[in-house]
Amino acid sequence: MKKTALRKDAWRAIAGNGKRFVAMLVIVAVGVMMLGGLNTIARDIRGGLDEFFDATSMHDISIISTLGFDDDDIDALQQVDGVAKVAGEHSASVTTAIDGKQSSATITTLNNEGVEQPYLKDGRLPKSTHEIAVTEQYLNDSGKSLGDTLIFQPDDSLTSAASTSANDATGMFSDGNYTIVGTVIDPNDIVNPTGPLALVSGAKTVYPMFVAEDALNDADAPYASVVITVAGAKALNTYDDDYLNAVDDAVANIEAIQAAREQARTDTVHQAALDKAMASIDAQKAKVDALPDGLPAKAAAEQKIAEAEAQAKSTVDAMPKATWIIRDRSAVTSYEDVKTQTEMIARLGTMFPVLFLIIALLVSLTAITRMVEEDRGLIGTYKALGYTRHEIMLKYLVYSGAACLFGGLLGDVLGMVGLPFMFTRKIITNMYVLPNYPLLVDWRLALGGVLLFVVIITGAAMVACAGSLRLEPAELMRPKAPKAGKTIVLQRIGFIWNHLSFLGKVTARNLFRYKSRALMVIIGVLGCTALMTAGFGMGSSALTLMPRQHSEIAPYDVLAVTSAADHDKAQSALDDDSEVKSTLPLQLGSVTLAPAQHSGKDSDAADDAKLTAQLMVIPDGKSTDGYINLQTSDGSPIELEYADDGIIVTANAARKLALASGSSVNLTDQMANTADATVHEVAQYYTGNLVVMSQSTYKQIFDEDYAPNAYLINVRGDANAQIAFANDLAEQSEYLSVTSSAKQERDFSKSFQLFFVMIGFIVIMAAILAVVVLYTLASTNISERERELATIKVLGFRKREVHGYVNKEMLLLSAIGIAIGMPCGRALLGFLVSKLDLPGMNIVPNVLWFCYAGAAALALAFTLLVSLATNRSLDRIDMVGALKSPE
C-alpha cells in the first residue's frame, strides 16, 4: 500500500511539474536526435553507395599499365587467389561537338564479365557496333534524347608529340554516327554535375560514354585497363574494415605476379615492335643474299643491314617497359568524397550531442533541485512515516527517467527517420546522383543514445536528492532558512554603488545571491550565441570562399583549354583580340598525388590517402603575377623560379596527404607516368587541389616535353563582359573547355545548399537550447522567489515594475553570456572547420561583423521572448497564498 501511494505520487509529479518535464524531454529529444540522426545519415549515404557499387559490380581493384594488357595477363590475374572476376577494358579520350563547341568525352567498352557496368536509368545498354549509352548530363547539355545520333573523334590534346600510349584513341573505334540507346550513371563518377562539389572542383566536363565491344576496329587491341572484383567482397560494406582487408589481401597476391607479368608484356610488345622493324630489313637482306658473292656493293649492303639491325634492336631496347599501377576504390574520387562527407556528418553527430548532454545535465539538476526544495515538507513527512531514502528518491528518478525515455523515443523517431529524409532526399541528392539511399537503423545506437541520457540525467537526479534525504524529518518539515545577506563587491565601490537606483541595487545583490542560477543563465546564453556565431560564420566563410579565391589567389578572368594542335592558332587569335588584356600560356592536365614510398595497409591514414589535382606547368621565365598569386597561408609570396627542384602543392592537398615543405610526394600523370617529387612549398588555395611546377621541373620529373594547351586570360570589362567573352570563346571549335571565374563564382554561391541547411539546422538547435534553458531557469527563479515577489506586489509595485524587477536580471546575465559567447563561437567555428574536411575545399574561417550582430540580436530576442512568456507567471502570483506562514 505504501509503495502504491508513492508510485502514484511519482506519476503525479509529472503533471504537477509539466513545464520542467517538457524542458528536460525536449533537450533529451534534440540530443538523441542529433546523435542518432546524423550518424544514421552517414550510414545511409555509405549504404547507398555500397548498394550502387553492388548493382554495377563496381571494381574492387583496377590496374592500368603503360603498355596495356593482353589475354595472357587476364588469364594470369584470373588465377590469383582471392580474385573473383577479371575483365579488360578498352577506353579512349575523344572529343564531340555540343552546340558547336568541342567537348571532351571518354569512350569505354562494355565487358562480357559484367564488371563495372554502368547503371542503366533509361533505355538499354549498347549491343551492336554503332550504339552508345550516355549520361543524363550529356543529354541535358546537348539537347539530345534517346534515338538521336552523335559523332566523336580522337582527342590529341592528351598525347604529346614525343610519346604515345596504349590509350591512344587513333583508329580504336569505328567511325560514323552512333545511336544513343540508353541513359546511364557512370559508377566511377557519381558527383552531381550541377551540384556544389562539381562547382568546387572547377575541372572541365568530361562526358563518360559506353559502347559495345563490337565497336572496336581491332578486336586484338590491347586492353587499356583491367578491372577486378574480389571474392566475397560484394557481401561486405565497401567502407568496413573487413572489406578493406579482403581487398588488401587480394592486392598483395596480385603484386606477387606483377613483376613477371610486366616483364612478359614488355617482351611481347618489344618483340612485336622488333618484328615490325625487322620486316623491311629482312626483305632487304633477302635481296642482298641473292646478289653474287664477291660484289663490292654486296659487302657494303651487308654492313648497312647489320647496322640497321643493331639500330632497330637498340631502339626497341630503349622503348618504355610495362609498369602496372594497382589501385583500389580509394582512387575513385567519388568514393573518397563520400567517405569524407560521411565522416564529417558523423563527427557533427558526435560533437553536438555532447553539448546538449551537458545542457540537459544542467537543466535536470536545476529542475530536480527545485522540485526537492518544493517537496521539502513532503519528504520529511515520508521519512516520518517510515519510507526509506531509496523509496522517496524513486519519485524523482521516475520523473527524470520518464523525461529521458519519452524524449529519447521522440529523438529516435526524428533522428532515424526525419533527419535522414531531410538530408539525404533533399540535400545529398543534390551532391550525388545515386539512384536511392537505404534507411539503415542501428538499434544499438538508437538504444545507446537513450540509455546514455537516462544514466546521466537520473544520476544528476540522485545527486540533487541526496542532500535533502540525509536530513532528519523534523528539520525537513521546517522551512529552509533563507540565505544570510552579505556585502557584495560592488557595494565597496562607492562611486558606482551610490549612483545606482534602488532596483539597480536589488538586482546587483540578487545576481550575487543566486550565483549558481546566474552561472547557468550565462552558460545557456553563451552556448546559444556561440552556436549561432559559428553557424553564421560558417555561412560567411563558405559564401566568401570563391570571391576570396578569385580576389586573393586566382585573379585571372578566364581559363581556356585547347588541343595541342590548336594552341598556336588560338594564341594568335587572343593576341589580336582587343577585349583581351593579357594571357599566360601554360600546360594544363591532372595528376594523382600519393605519399612517396607507399607502404600499404600497415601505414598510417595519411600514407594511405590519394587525391587528384589539377596540374599547371608554367613556362620558364614567365611570371604568374596577375593570374595565380602563389603565397603561403600567412601571405608570404612564393617565387616559382626558386622551385626548379620541386613542386608547389596547395593547402587542401597538403593537409589531406600530411605534406609540408621538403616532403616527398608521388605523382602519376594522365599518361600513367609516375615519379617522386619534392614539395618546395605549400600554397594557400581555397577551392580545388592544384599542383604547380615550372617547365624545367616538369621535364626533370616526367622526362616529357612541355606542350602548352591552355591559357589564363585577363579580360577588359566587368563580370558580365567576362562571362560574355568566355561564352563567345566556348563557341569556337579550337577550345575544349572555357571557364569564367565570374560565372563560377555566381554558380558557386547559388549551389552551396549544404552549408545553408547546416546553418539553419545549427540556428534552430541554438534557438531550442536558448528557449528551453532560459525558460526553465526563469520559471525556477520565479518559483524560488515567490514570497519575495508577492511582498513587493503588496508594497505597491505595478506590473511593469515587477516585470522589470525580474527581467532586468535576466537581460543583464544574457548580455554577459552574449559577450562571452561571440568569441567562443569564433573558436567553435575554427574547431568545426578543422573537422569538416570537405573534399576539394580549404575553408578558412571568415566571420564578418554581421555574423556577430545577427547572433547577438537573436540571442537577445530569445531572452526577451522568454521574459514575455514568464511575465504571465509573475502576473498570476497569489499574494495571499505566497505570504501565508508555514508555521
pLDDT tens for 498-550 read 877 777 777 777 777 777 777 878 888 888 888 889 888 888 887 787 788 88
> 563-579 burial, b for 16+ CB within 10 Å, e for fewer?
bbebbeebbeebeebee
Q: Is the pLDDT of residue 87 over 90?
A: yes
Q: How far apart are CA 122 and CA 140, in angstroms?
A: 14
The predicted structure's pLDDT at residue 435: 82
The predicted structure's pLDDT at residue 168: 43
Q: Is the pLDDT of residue 887 over 50?
A: no
Tell me which of 157 and 670 has the higher pLDDT: 670
CA 201 to chain centre: 13
Q: How far apart are CA 381 and CA 370, in angstroms?
A: 18
Q: What is the pLDDT of residues 249-295, one digit of tens each?
A: 999 999 999 999 999 999 998 888 888 887 777 777 777 777 777 66
| High-pLDDT (> 90) share of the chain, % | 15
What residues pair up with 586 in beta bridges, in sequence order?
710
Are 650 and 685 in contact, with CB atoms under 8 Å apart? yes
The predicted structure's pLDDT at residue 823: 93
Tell me which of 321 and 295 has the higher pLDDT: 321
Show me where the domains of the chain are located. 552-748
> 12-25 burial, b for 16+ CB within 10 Å, e for fewer?
ebbeebeebbbbbb
pLDDT band at 589 (very low <50, low <70, confident <90, very high): confident
- What is the three-class DSSP state of 148? coil
Pairing of strands 131-135, 580-595: unpaired
The predicted structure's pLDDT at residue 257: 93
Q: Is the pLDDT of residue 413 over 70?
A: yes
pLDDT band at 176 (very low <50, low <70, confident <90, very high): confident
In 492-554, alpha helices (H): 494-497, 502-513, 515-543, 545-548
Q: How far apart are CA 430 and CA 752, in angstroms?
A: 10
Are 42 and 228 in contact, with CB atoms under 8 Å apart? no
pLDDT band at 246 (very low <50, low <70, confident <90, very high): very high
Q: Give Cβ neighbours of residue 493 (< 8 Å, ≥ 6 apart).
A: none
The predicted structure's pLDDT at residue 645: 66
Tell me which of 807 and 747 has the higher pLDDT: 807
The predicted structure's pLDDT at residue 601: 40
Name the phi and psi angles at 382, rounded to 5.
Answer: -60, -45
- What is the three-class DSSP state of 31? helix
Tell me which of 394 and 180 has the higher pLDDT: 180
Lowest-pLDDT range of 171-180, 502-511, 578-587: 502-511
* Mean pLDDT computed over 686-695: 86
Q: Beta-strand (E) ranges in 625-774?
A: 647-650, 664-669, 674-683, 690-694, 710-715, 735-740
Tell me which of 580 and 803 has the higher pLDDT: 580
Q: Is the pLDDT of residue 247 over 90?
A: yes
What residues pair up with 618 in beta bridges, in sequence order?
694
pLDDT band at 880 (very low <50, low <70, confident <90, very high): low
Q: How far apart are CA 226 and CA 88, in angstroms?
A: 4
Q: Of 181, 190, 166, which Cα lies nearest the Cα of 91? A: 166
Q: What is the pLDDT of residues 591-623, one digit of tens each?
A: 888 887 644 444 444 455 677 888 999 998 888
| High-pLDDT (> 70) share of the chain, % | 89
* Mean pLDDT computed over 419-443: 76
Q: What is the pLDDT of residues 31-81, one digit of tens each?
A: 888 888 888 888 888 888 899 999 999 999 999 888 889 999 999 999 999
> 90-113 burial, b for 16+ CB within 10 Å, e for fewer?
bbbbbbbebeebbbbbbbbbbbeb
Q: What is the pLDDT of residues 833-847, one digit of tens each?
A: 776 666 566 777 888
Q: Is the pLDDT of residue 99 over 70?
A: yes
* Mean pLDDT computed over 630-640: 83
* Mean pLDDT computed over 359-383: 80
- Amino acid making up residue 261: R
Average pLDDT of the chain, as a whole number: 81
Q: How far apart are CA 206 and CA 660, in angstroms?
A: 32
> Which of the given ranges, 55-69, 204-218, 479-493, has the highest pLDDT on average?
55-69
What would the grid cell of residue 462 be? 540522485
Q: Is the pLDDT of residue 724 over 80?
A: yes
The predicted structure's pLDDT at residue 171: 59
Q: How far apart are CA 124 and CA 126, in angstroms?
A: 7
* Mean pLDDT computed over 698-712: 86
Lowest-pLDDT range of 37-41, 97-101, 746-750: 746-750
Q: Is the pLDDT of residue 199 over 60?
A: no
- Which DSSP state fits 322? P
The predicted structure's pLDDT at residue 339: 82
Q: Beta-strand (E) ranges in 308-383?
A: 324-328
> 801-822 burial, b for 16+ CB within 10 Å, e for fewer?
ebbbbbbbbbbbbbbbbbebbb
Tell me which of 478 and 626 has the higher pLDDT: 626
HEC string of 211-271 equals ECHHHECCCCCCEEEEEEEECCHHHCCCCCHHHHHHHHHHHHHHHHHHHHHHHHHHHHHHH
